[in-house]
Structure 1
């Protein structure tokens, strides 16, 4: 392997890594959401609707992302990243709170 092809491969891997990490985070969030739906169906449905709406909007943006100017793309990418991190944190928090409430209601 030549140094330039190795550098290209490393650059490609570096670009792929954030995408893979993002996908892992979304998958983990989806699993937490499924657990929340079992533990607290009402909140699970509410946050599930928000999750579905966010994924739908991000997918629609992704279809035109290549046609958007770089500064705009950076801003919109950051917005979706923030929104997904925030929503996943809300899902995790609600799951923890719901599990704690269930545990506290067990008589000893």
Structure 2
């Protein structure tokens, strides 16, 4: 493999990372929007899921302060853990929002 191939591979990996971060950000913003809808649809479910979401985001923020100090294997593991937690909580938010909207009179 020559240096051109290395450059191309590195560029592709960098672009994939950037795209994944952008998709993660968009997913998180959509999740927050659905959480706002849930607040109006089912305040009790909102309170529970909002607390879980806030706790997860605080943990992620705390981790971001030390992330650069741990090795890449640990970063990969913890990044995946937070990605999974985010997907799980957002799935719960989406499901409860859908349930709440579908239970409205006239639906």
TM-score relative to the length of structure 1: 0.83
| Offset from partner CA, 1:27-77 (integer Å, 9 cap, x none) | 000000000001111111110111111011001101111111111111111
Where does the alignment leave 5 or more consecutive residues of structure 1 unmatched?
none
Asked if 1:44 corresponds to 2:46, the answer is yes
- 1:72 aligns with 74
Counterpart selection for 1:20 from 22, 28, 33: 22
Where does the alignment leave 5 or more consecutive residues of structure 2 unmatched?
none
Instruction: Tell me how large the CA RMSD over aligned residues is.
Output: 1.9
Rounded Cα–Cα distance in structure 1 between residues aligned with 2:15 and 2:77: 23
Asked if 1:53 corresponds to 2:55, the answer is yes
Rounded Cα–Cα distance in structure 2 between residues aligned with 1:96 and 1:88: 12
Rounded Cα–Cα distance in structure 2 between residues aligned with 1:11 and 1:91: 31
How many correspondences in the alignment?
Answer: 102
Rounded Cα–Cα distance in structure 1 between residues aligned with 2:88 and 2:13: 29
- Partner secondary structure for residue 102 of structure 1: coil
TM-score relative to the length of structure 2: 0.84
Instruction: State the 4+ residue runs in structure 1 displaced beyond 6 angstroms.
Output: none
